[in-house]
């Protein structure tokens, strides 16, 4: 049945989107959205959903409110399920109630899905509780967007000044000097603690604490701008003690992830958990082979091999897809032993019912060779399902040791045709601190898009982080030394190494 859902998207942290809002986005025919602090929410939408931007940012109205109302009515009367996605909460300075009234008057069914308002979330991430038994037992939410030149104010400044409530002003940075003056003129002491929180809960989160008398001057000196919340009250005294989000080592630092889009999510998640602003710039993409007949034939003949060595999770996925096409499962391996080059590959095998018989201590081909030689691989038949183009160290060394090696391409990697201008602009503006590389092919294809002489303009402000020594050597051929090299050759180790490097820089600067 047609219906309009008024959804609160929350303040920006994707983890604060409600489960119900996500479920609506996954099923809606039409998604109408405002300017959002995090556009990743749109990834939940159906591939065939109609997605319409009607946002309002800094006075720039893509579509006036009355036309937004009419759009919602029209789409619902076309028989569509409409998700109206709004930042924060629809009913907290979000004009959601006005939209609900228009829908009601037009006879359109609607439902409200509340969102986490920035008024609560942003201060909490800055270490500021809005209420506390020792400081404040009430809180007031106030618009800070009033025109300071108009004859009168909708606010009772005397009542606000007298109140022991915590005061939270939305959109108050532009009028911050007037807000502070009005409160002090009405009797609020200039020594009252105050704080600004900008881009609260996102990777761009910043906060600034001062007293009411100096907050405007300090905000100007620190370059605070919209979107920011102003918090006034004794609870601000707890900020330094309860701050937790701002301790994340990568907070506010841009990190470019060059891994393929299919694989990037794990690294992005780990970096974002430490506060990073991730820029996905996949240098390679995973592609199926044009002819998978050799792979399917090898799947049927698995029992004829003594060892099957997988060098990536992608290889596991592609090979098992061929097995499934042949109606086979893990039993097809028979007595063959199975090796994995690293923990991610071993986990991919485990997810398909295979426990790796061999996992090297170091996750590179050289270590695999050493381990297999110690296990008597000489004279054995070895199958290596891998990428179409890959290092030849593993098959060559095993063959030299007397193994009968069959290299089986099961997938291809190819460069991604992506415009680098967004990444270059972010580098020019100082938003990016690290570029991560997880393989030699990501290095080669990155510099195919951004030539070394161009990238050199941004170093050392932009540092390179690599997953291991092989990738580091490839990077060095382009004239760059990595600032960060993972201790273990895994994605989690790379994320940890980048975070440690950023933490050391922060500690050295403090």
SS3 102: helix
381/376 Cα distance (integer angstroms): 11
446/91 Cα distance (integer angstroms): 45
What is the per-residue pLDDT for 217? 97
**Which CATH number describes the domain made up of 287-414?**
3.40.50.10090
**DSSP character for 39?**
G
283/438 Cα distance (integer angstroms): 10
- pLDDT of residue 419 exceeding 60, the answer is yes
For residues 307 and 372, the answer to whether their CB atoms sit within 8 Å is yes
Element housing 221 (H / E):
helix 215-222
Q: Residue 163 half-sphere exposure, CB side, CA atoms within 13 Å? A: 18
364/231 Cα distance (integer angstroms): 52
Q: Which range, of 324-328, 368-372, 417-421, 466-470, averages the lowest pLDDT?
A: 368-372
What percentage of the chain reaches a pLDDT higher than 90? 77
Instruction: Work out the average pLDDT over 256-281.
Output: 91
For residues 338 and 310, the answer to whether their CB atoms sit within 8 Å is yes
**If pLDDT is split at 50, 70 and 90, which confidence band does 415 have?**
confident
What is the per-residue pLDDT for 450? 97
Query: Is 239 exposed, middle or buried, given 0-12, 13-18 or 19+ CB atoms closer than 10 A?
Result: buried
Is there a catalytic annotation at residue 48? no
What is the per-residue pLDDT for 181? 96
**Which CATH number describes the domain made up of 3-116?**
3.40.1010.10
**Marked catalytic residue, from 13, 29, 34, 274:** 34
Sheet containing strand 463-466, edge to edge, reads: 277-280, 254-257, 432-437, 463-466, 484-485
Locate 200 and state its tokens.
Answer: 């609260």
Closest by alpha carbon to 128, among 258, 230, 43? 230
What is the per-residue pLDDT for 390? 82
What is the per-residue pLDDT for 56? 66
CATH 3.40.1010.10 segments of the chain: 3-116
SS3 87: coil
Supply the mean pLDDT for the chain: 93
**If pLDDT is split at 50, 70 and 90, which confidence band does 417 have?**
confident
Closest by alpha carbon to 306, among 357, 394, 380? 380
SS3 118: helix
Q: How many helices (H) and strands (E) does the chain have?
A: 19, 22
Pairing of strands 30-33, 81-86: parallel
What is the per-residue pLDDT for 285? 87
Query: Is 184 exposed, middle or buried, given 0-12, 13-18 or 19+ CB atoms closer than 10 A?
Result: middle
CATH 3.30.950.10 segments of the chain: 120-245
- pLDDT of residue 193 exceeding 70, the answer is yes
The pLDDT tens digits for 374-414 are 888 889 999 999 998 887 888 998 999 899 999 999 999 88
Instruction: Work out the average pLDDT over 242-261.
Output: 95
The pLDDT tens digits for 205-214 are 999 999 999 9
Query: Is 381 exposed, middle or buried, given 0-12, 13-18 or 19+ CB atoms closer than 10 A?
Result: middle
What percentage of the chain reaches a pLDDT higher than 70? 97
- pLDDT of residue 59 exceeding 70, the answer is no
**If pLDDT is split at 50, 70 and 90, which confidence band does 58 have?**
low
459/463 Cα distance (integer angstroms): 6
170/226 Cα distance (integer angstroms): 10
What is the per-residue pLDDT for 35? 82
Tell me the CATH architecture of domain 120-245.
2-Layer Sandwich (3.30)
**Marked catalytic residue, from 3, 56, 174, 218:** 56
SS3 509: helix
For residues 357 and 385, the answer to whether their CB atoms sit within 8 Å is no
- pLDDT of residue 62 exceeding 60, the answer is yes
Locate 165 and state its tokens.
Answer: 């409530």
- pLDDT of residue 79 exceeding 90, the answer is yes
CATH 3.40.50.10090 segments of the chain: 254-283+417-509, 287-414
Is there a catalytic annotation at residue 34? yes
**Virtual torsion, Cα 451, 457, 459, 461, nearest 10 deg:** -130
SS3 429: coil
Instruction: Work out the average pLDDT over 308-335.
Output: 94
Bridge-partner residues for 7, per DSSP? 85, 113
Element housing 398 (H / E):
helix 393-400
Pairing of strands 56-57, 60-61: antiparallel
- Which of 3.40.50.1820, 3.40.50.10090, 1.10.1740.10, 3.40.120.10 would CATH assign to domain 254-283+417-509? 3.40.50.10090
**DSSP character for 482?**
-
Please list, in sequence order, all residues whose beta carbon lies within 8 angstroms of the beta carbon of residue 169, skipping any fewer than 6 positions away: 142, 143, 144, 179, 229, 230, 231, 232
Strands (E), 117-242: 139-143, 166-170, 193-198, 206-211, 228-232
- pLDDT of residue 272 exceeding 90, the answer is yes
Q: Which range, of 33-37, 173-177, 266-270, 282-286, averages the lowest pLDDT?
A: 33-37
What is the per-residue pLDDT for 494? 96
Largest Cα–Cα distance of the chain, in whole Å?
93
The pLDDT tens digits for 206-236 are 999 999 999 999 999 999 998 999 999 999 9
């Amino acid at each position: 049945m047609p219906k309009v859902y008024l959804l609160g998207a929350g303040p920006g942290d994707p983890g604060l989107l409600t489960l119900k809002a996500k479920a609506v986005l996954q099923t809606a025919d039409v998604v109408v959205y405002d300017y959002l602090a995090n556009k990743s929410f749109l990834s939940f939408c159906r591939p065939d959903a109609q997605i319409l931007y009607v946002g309002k940012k800094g006075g720039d109205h893509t579509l006036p409110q009355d036309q937004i109302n009419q759009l919602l009515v029209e789409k619902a009367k076309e028989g569509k399920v409409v998700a109206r996605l709004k930042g924060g909460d629809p009913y907290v300075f979000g004009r959601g109630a006005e939209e609900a009234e228009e829908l009601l008057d037009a006879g359109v069914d609607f439902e409200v899905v509340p969102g986490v308002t920035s008024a609560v979330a942003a201060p909490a991430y800055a270490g500021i509780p809005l209420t506390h038994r020792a400081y404040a037992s009430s809180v007031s939410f106030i618009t800070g967007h009033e025109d300071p030149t108009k004859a009168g104010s909708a606010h009772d400044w005397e009542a606000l000044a007298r109140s022991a409530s915590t005061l939270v002003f939305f959109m108050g940075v532009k009028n911050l000097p007037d807000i502070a003056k009005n409160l002090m003129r009405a009797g609020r002491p200039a020594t009252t603690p105050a704080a600004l929180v900008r881009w609260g809960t996102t990777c761009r989160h910043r906060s600034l604490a001062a007293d009411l008398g100096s907050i405007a001057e300090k905000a100007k000196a620190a370059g605070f701008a919209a979107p920011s919340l102003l918090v006034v009250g004794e609870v601000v005294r707890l900020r330094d003690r309860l701050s937790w989000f701002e301790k994340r080592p990568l907070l506010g630092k841009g990190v470019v992830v060059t891994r393929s889009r299919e694989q990037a999510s794990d690294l992005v998640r780990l970096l974002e958990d430490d506060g990073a602003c991730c820029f996905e710039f996949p240098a390679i993409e995973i592609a199926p082979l044009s002819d998978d007949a050799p792979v399917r034939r090898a799947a049927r003949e698995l029992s004829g091999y003594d060892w099957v060595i997988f060098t990536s999770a992608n290889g596991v996925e592609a090979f098992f897809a061929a097995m499934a096409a042949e109606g086979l499962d893990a039993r097809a391996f028979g007595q063959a032993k199975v090796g994995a080059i690293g923990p991610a590959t071993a986990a991919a095998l485990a997810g398909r019912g295979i426990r790796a018989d061999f996992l090297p201590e170091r996750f590179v081909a050289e270590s695999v060779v050493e381990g297999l030689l110690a296990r008597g691989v000489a004279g054995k038949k070895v199958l290596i399902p891998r990428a179409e183009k890959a290092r030849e160290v593993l098959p060559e060394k095993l063959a030299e040791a007397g193994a009968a090696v069959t290299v089986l391409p099961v997938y291809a990697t190819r460069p991604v045709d992506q415009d680098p201008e967004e990444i270059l602009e972010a580098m020019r503006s100082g938003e990016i601190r690290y570029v991560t590389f997880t393989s030699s092919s990501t290095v080669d294809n990155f510099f195919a898009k951004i030539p070394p002489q161009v990238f050199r303009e941004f170093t050392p402000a932009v540092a390179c982080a690599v997953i291991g020594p092989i990738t580091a050597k490839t990077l060095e051929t382009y004239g760059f030394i990595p600032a960060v090299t993972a201790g273990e050759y895994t994605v989690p180790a790379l994320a940890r190494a980048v975070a440690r490097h950023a933490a050391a820089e922060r500690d050295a600067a403090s």
